[in-house]
Protein backbone atom coordinates (compact mmCIF):
# COMPACT_ATOMS: atom_id res chain seq x y z
CA UNK A 1 0.00 0.00 0.00
CA UNK A 2 1.32 3.42 -0.78
CA UNK A 3 -1.17 5.61 1.03
CA UNK A 4 1.67 6.95 3.13
CA UNK A 5 4.43 8.67 1.23
CA UNK A 6 7.40 10.46 2.75
CA UNK A 7 7.50 14.27 2.85
CA UNK A 8 10.72 15.83 1.71
CA UNK A 9 13.40 15.68 4.36
CA UNK A 10 15.62 18.76 4.45
CA UNK A 11 18.10 17.73 7.06
CA UNK A 12 19.51 14.53 8.50
CA UNK A 13 17.96 15.56 11.83
CA UNK A 14 14.18 15.58 11.96
CA UNK A 15 14.16 17.15 15.43
CA UNK A 16 16.72 19.46 17.03
CA UNK A 17 16.39 20.86 20.52
CA UNK A 18 18.86 23.43 21.84
CA UNK A 19 18.97 24.69 25.41
CA UNK A 20 15.22 24.45 25.97
CA UNK A 21 14.05 25.75 29.32
CA UNK A 22 10.55 25.94 30.73
CA UNK A 23 9.34 27.80 33.78
CA UNK A 24 5.67 27.80 34.73
CA UNK A 25 4.36 30.88 36.60
CA UNK A 26 7.61 32.69 35.85
CA UNK A 27 8.57 35.36 38.37
CA UNK A 28 5.75 34.40 40.74
CA UNK A 29 5.96 32.82 44.17
CA UNK A 30 4.78 29.50 42.71
CA UNK A 31 7.32 29.45 39.84
CA UNK A 32 8.31 25.91 38.77
CA UNK A 33 11.49 25.48 36.74
CA UNK A 34 10.62 22.24 34.95
CA UNK A 35 13.14 22.09 32.10
CA UNK A 36 16.62 23.48 32.81
CA UNK A 37 18.43 23.25 29.50
CA UNK A 38 17.49 20.39 27.20
CA UNK A 39 19.66 19.55 24.22
CA UNK A 40 19.07 16.62 21.95
CA UNK A 41 18.66 15.70 18.32
CA UNK A 42 16.72 12.95 16.61
CA UNK A 43 17.70 11.69 13.20
CA UNK A 44 15.09 11.19 10.47
CA UNK A 45 13.33 7.91 10.99
CA UNK A 46 14.72 7.35 14.48
CA UNK A 47 12.65 5.60 17.15
CA UNK A 48 13.24 7.31 20.45
CA UNK A 49 11.91 6.72 24.00
CA UNK A 50 11.78 9.45 26.65
CA UNK A 51 11.54 8.18 30.21
CA UNK A 52 11.57 9.78 33.64
CA UNK A 53 9.64 9.96 36.90
CA UNK A 54 6.16 11.43 37.19
CA UNK A 55 6.35 15.23 37.24
CA UNK A 56 9.81 15.33 35.66
CA UNK A 57 8.52 17.29 32.65
CA UNK A 58 8.12 14.67 29.92
CA UNK A 59 4.71 15.90 28.74
CA UNK A 60 5.90 19.50 29.01
CA UNK A 61 8.88 18.74 26.78
CA UNK A 62 6.76 16.81 24.27
CA UNK A 63 4.24 19.66 24.08
CA UNK A 64 7.06 22.15 23.50
CA UNK A 65 8.72 20.15 20.73
CA UNK A 66 5.34 19.42 19.14
CA UNK A 67 4.48 23.12 18.93
CA UNK A 68 1.67 23.00 21.48
CA UNK A 69 3.38 24.96 24.28
CA UNK A 70 5.88 27.82 24.22
CA UNK A 71 9.22 27.30 25.90
CA UNK A 72 10.71 29.96 28.17
CA UNK A 73 13.99 29.77 26.31
CA UNK A 74 15.74 27.74 23.61
CA UNK A 75 15.26 26.55 20.06
CA UNK A 76 13.21 23.71 18.57
CA UNK A 77 13.66 22.78 14.92
CA UNK A 78 11.50 20.29 13.05
CA UNK A 79 12.79 19.31 9.64
CA UNK A 80 15.18 22.29 9.77
CA UNK A 81 12.43 24.81 10.58
CA UNK A 82 12.66 26.83 13.81
CA UNK A 83 9.05 26.24 14.86
CA UNK A 84 8.74 29.16 17.29
CA UNK A 85 9.90 31.62 14.65
CA UNK A 86 6.75 30.76 12.66
CA UNK A 87 3.54 32.77 12.66
CA UNK A 88 0.51 30.92 14.12
CA UNK A 89 -0.87 29.87 10.71
CA UNK A 90 2.46 28.53 9.52
CA UNK A 91 2.94 26.62 12.78
CA UNK A 92 -0.55 25.13 12.41
CA UNK A 93 0.32 24.08 8.84
CA UNK A 94 3.60 22.52 9.95
CA UNK A 95 1.84 20.67 12.75
CA UNK A 96 -0.85 19.41 10.37
CA UNK A 97 1.55 18.27 7.67
CA UNK A 98 4.67 17.06 9.51
CA UNK A 99 3.58 15.96 12.97
CA UNK A 100 1.28 13.21 14.25
CA UNK A 101 0.07 13.00 17.86
CA UNK A 102 -1.03 10.08 19.99
CA UNK A 103 -2.24 10.47 23.57
CA UNK A 104 -2.77 8.08 26.46
CA UNK A 105 -6.51 8.82 26.49
CA UNK A 106 -6.88 8.27 22.70
CA UNK A 107 -8.64 11.60 22.04
CA UNK A 108 -11.18 10.21 19.57
CA UNK A 109 -14.38 12.14 18.85
CA UNK A 110 -17.13 10.10 20.53
CA UNK A 111 -20.00 10.93 18.19
CA UNK A 112 -18.08 10.03 15.03
CA UNK A 113 -17.46 6.47 13.82
CA UNK A 114 -13.86 5.24 13.49
CA UNK A 115 -13.74 6.02 9.77
CA UNK A 116 -14.97 9.59 10.30
CA UNK A 117 -12.41 10.18 13.05
CA UNK A 118 -9.72 9.52 10.43
CA UNK A 119 -11.50 11.48 7.71
CA UNK A 120 -11.33 14.70 9.79
CA UNK A 121 -7.55 15.34 9.44
CA UNK A 122 -7.75 14.26 5.79
CA UNK A 123 -10.48 16.86 5.17
CA UNK A 124 -8.39 19.49 6.95
CA UNK A 125 -5.55 18.64 4.58
CA UNK A 126 -7.86 19.17 1.58
CA UNK A 127 -8.65 15.52 0.81
CA UNK A 128 -12.44 15.27 0.48
CA UNK A 129 -15.38 12.95 -0.15
CA UNK A 130 -14.70 9.59 -1.79
CA UNK A 131 -10.91 10.01 -1.79
CA UNK A 132 -10.93 10.69 1.95
CA UNK A 133 -13.11 7.63 2.64
CA UNK A 134 -10.88 5.37 0.55
CA UNK A 135 -7.76 6.69 2.25
CA UNK A 136 -9.29 6.41 5.74
CA UNK A 137 -10.20 2.80 5.05
CA UNK A 138 -6.64 2.10 3.88
CA UNK A 139 -5.34 3.57 7.12
CA UNK A 140 -7.75 1.45 9.17
CA UNK A 141 -6.56 -1.60 7.25
CA UNK A 142 -3.00 -0.66 8.16
CA UNK A 143 -3.88 -1.05 11.85
CA UNK A 144 -6.03 -4.17 11.27
CA UNK A 145 -9.39 -2.50 11.94
CA UNK A 146 -11.09 -2.35 8.55
CA UNK A 147 -13.99 -4.38 9.99
CA UNK A 148 -14.57 -1.75 12.71
CA UNK A 149 -14.81 1.23 10.35
CA UNK A 150 -18.43 2.01 11.25
CA UNK A 151 -18.07 1.53 15.00
CA UNK A 152 -18.28 4.45 17.40
CA UNK A 153 -15.38 4.74 19.89
CA UNK A 154 -17.69 3.52 22.69
CA UNK A 155 -18.02 0.21 20.87
CA UNK A 156 -14.26 -0.35 20.65
CA UNK A 157 -11.83 -1.80 23.17
CA UNK A 158 -9.00 0.36 24.54
CA UNK A 159 -6.48 -1.26 22.21
CA UNK A 160 -8.79 -0.78 19.22
CA UNK A 161 -9.35 2.89 20.12
CA UNK A 162 -5.61 3.44 20.25
CA UNK A 163 -5.21 1.75 16.86
CA UNK A 164 -7.83 4.12 15.38
CA UNK A 165 -5.88 7.01 16.97
CA UNK A 166 -2.69 5.68 15.32
CA UNK A 167 -4.42 5.50 11.93
CA UNK A 168 -5.62 9.08 12.44
CA UNK A 169 -2.13 10.24 13.45
CA UNK A 170 -0.70 8.67 10.28
CA UNK A 171 -3.36 10.24 8.02
CA UNK A 172 -1.21 13.14 6.85
CA UNK A 173 1.99 11.13 6.45
CA UNK A 174 3.86 12.78 9.32
CA UNK A 175 7.63 12.85 9.36
CA UNK A 176 7.54 12.53 13.12
CA UNK A 177 5.01 11.08 15.50
CA UNK A 178 4.85 12.20 19.14
CA UNK A 179 3.21 9.82 21.58
CA UNK A 180 2.61 10.65 25.25
CA UNK A 181 2.17 7.41 27.22
CA UNK A 182 0.42 5.76 24.25
CA UNK A 183 0.08 2.45 26.07
CA UNK A 184 -0.63 3.91 29.53
CA UNK A 185 -4.24 2.69 29.45
CA UNK A 186 -3.56 -0.66 27.80
CA UNK A 187 -2.86 -4.14 29.15
CA UNK A 188 0.27 -6.08 28.24
CA UNK A 189 -1.11 -7.74 25.07
CA UNK A 190 -2.57 -4.52 23.69
CA UNK A 191 0.64 -2.68 24.55
CA UNK A 192 2.57 -5.22 22.53
CA UNK A 193 0.13 -4.98 19.62
CA UNK A 194 0.37 -1.16 19.54
CA UNK A 195 4.18 -1.28 19.77
CA UNK A 196 4.32 -3.82 16.92
CA UNK A 197 2.23 -1.45 14.78
CA UNK A 198 4.57 1.44 15.65
CA UNK A 199 7.56 -0.67 14.67
CA UNK A 200 5.94 -1.66 11.35
CA UNK A 201 5.05 1.96 10.52
CA UNK A 202 8.55 2.96 11.49
CA UNK A 203 10.09 0.31 9.26
CA UNK A 204 7.82 0.71 6.25
CA UNK A 205 7.40 4.48 6.22
CA UNK A 206 10.52 5.73 8.03
CA UNK A 207 8.32 7.73 10.38
CA UNK A 208 10.34 9.01 13.34
CA UNK A 209 8.83 8.29 16.77
CA UNK A 210 9.31 10.10 20.06
CA UNK A 211 7.50 8.10 22.69
CA UNK A 212 7.10 9.12 26.32
CA UNK A 213 6.74 6.11 28.57
CA UNK A 214 7.17 4.86 32.12
CA UNK A 215 7.55 1.32 30.86
CA UNK A 216 10.91 -0.36 30.29
CA UNK A 217 9.07 -2.86 28.08
CA UNK A 218 7.83 -0.07 25.78
CA UNK A 219 11.25 1.62 25.82
CA UNK A 220 12.85 -1.66 24.77
CA UNK A 221 11.28 -1.21 21.32
CA UNK A 222 13.18 2.05 20.80
CA UNK A 223 16.51 2.54 19.02
CA UNK A 224 17.54 4.95 21.75
CA UNK A 225 16.18 5.89 25.11
CA UNK A 226 16.98 8.81 27.41
CA UNK A 227 15.77 9.90 30.81
CA UNK A 228 14.55 13.26 32.01
CA UNK A 229 15.71 13.94 35.54
CA UNK A 230 15.84 17.18 37.51
CA UNK A 231 15.09 19.18 34.36
CA UNK A 232 17.88 17.66 32.30
CA UNK A 233 18.35 14.77 29.88
CA UNK A 234 20.58 11.97 31.09
CA UNK A 235 21.65 8.76 29.37
N1 LIG B 1 0.26 24.50 33.26
C2 LIG B 1 1.08 24.30 34.30
N3 LIG B 1 1.21 25.22 35.28
C4 LIG B 1 2.04 25.03 36.31
N5 LIG B 1 2.80 23.92 36.48
C6 LIG B 1 2.70 22.97 35.55
C7 LIG B 1 1.83 23.09 34.42
N8 LIG B 1 1.96 21.98 33.66
C9 LIG B 1 2.85 21.20 34.29
N10 LIG B 1 3.30 21.79 35.43
C11 LIG B 1 4.29 21.23 36.37
O12 LIG B 1 5.42 20.84 35.62
C13 LIG B 1 5.96 19.63 36.12
C14 LIG B 1 6.11 18.64 34.99
O15 LIG B 1 4.83 18.23 34.54
P16 LIG B 1 4.65 17.19 33.34
O17 LIG B 1 3.19 17.01 33.14
O18 LIG B 1 5.45 17.63 32.19
O19 LIG B 1 5.32 15.88 33.98
P20 LIG B 1 5.40 14.39 33.39
O21 LIG B 1 6.84 13.98 33.43
O22 LIG B 1 4.70 14.32 32.09
O23 LIG B 1 4.62 13.56 34.50
P24 LIG B 1 3.69 12.24 34.32
O25 LIG B 1 4.65 11.08 34.14
O26 LIG B 1 2.98 12.15 35.65
O27 LIG B 1 2.77 12.43 33.16
C28 LIG B 1 5.06 19.19 37.25
O29 LIG B 1 5.66 19.54 38.46
C30 LIG B 1 3.80 19.96 37.03
O31 LIG B 1 3.16 20.24 38.23
MG1 LIG C 1 2.99 13.32 31.40
Say how many Å lie between the CA of residue 136 and the centre of ligand 1.
34
Answer whether residue 53 is part of any domain: yes
Q: Does 225 map to a domain?
A: yes
64 within domain boundaries: yes
How close is the Cα of 81 to the center of ligand 1, in Å? 26
Does any ligand 1 atom lie closer than 6 A to the CB of residue 56? yes
The CA radius of gyration of the chain, in Å to the nearest whole number, is 18
Cα–ligand 1 centroid distance for 227 (angstroms): 15
Q: Is 140 helix (H, G, I), strand (E, B) or coil?
A: helix
Whether the Cβ atoms of residue 106 and residue 179 lie closer than 8 Å to each other:
no
* Domain-embedded: residue 8: no
- Give the number of the atom of ligand 1 that is nearest the alpha carbon of residue 22: 12
pTM score, whole prediction: 0.91
Domain that holds residue 60: 13-234
Ligand 2 (single-atom ion) residues, CB below 5 Å: 59
pLDDT in single tens digits along all 235 residues of the chain: 444 444 666 678 999 999 999 999 999 999 999 999 999 999 999 999 999 999 999 999 999 999 899 999 999 999 999 999 999 999 988 888 899 999 999 999 999 999 999 999 999 889 999 999 999 999 999 899 999 999 999 999 999 999 999 999 999 889 999 999 999 999 999 999 999 999 998 998 899 999 999 999 999 999 999 999 999 998 7
Question: Which ligand lies nearest to the CA atom of residue 103 in the structure?
Answer: 2
The alpha carbon of 234 and the centre of ligand 1 are apart by a number of angstroms equal to 18
CATH of the domain at 79: 3.40.50.300
Is the minimum distance from the CB of 79 to ligand 1 under 6 angstroms? no
User: How many domains does one find in the chain?
Assistant: 1
Amino acid sequence: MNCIAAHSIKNDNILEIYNVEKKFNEGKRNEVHVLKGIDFQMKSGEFFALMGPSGSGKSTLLNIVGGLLNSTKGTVKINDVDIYSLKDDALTDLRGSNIGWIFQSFGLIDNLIALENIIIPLNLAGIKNKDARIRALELLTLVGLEDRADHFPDGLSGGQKQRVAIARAMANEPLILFADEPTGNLDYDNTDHVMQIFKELHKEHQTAFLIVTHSQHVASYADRSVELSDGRIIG
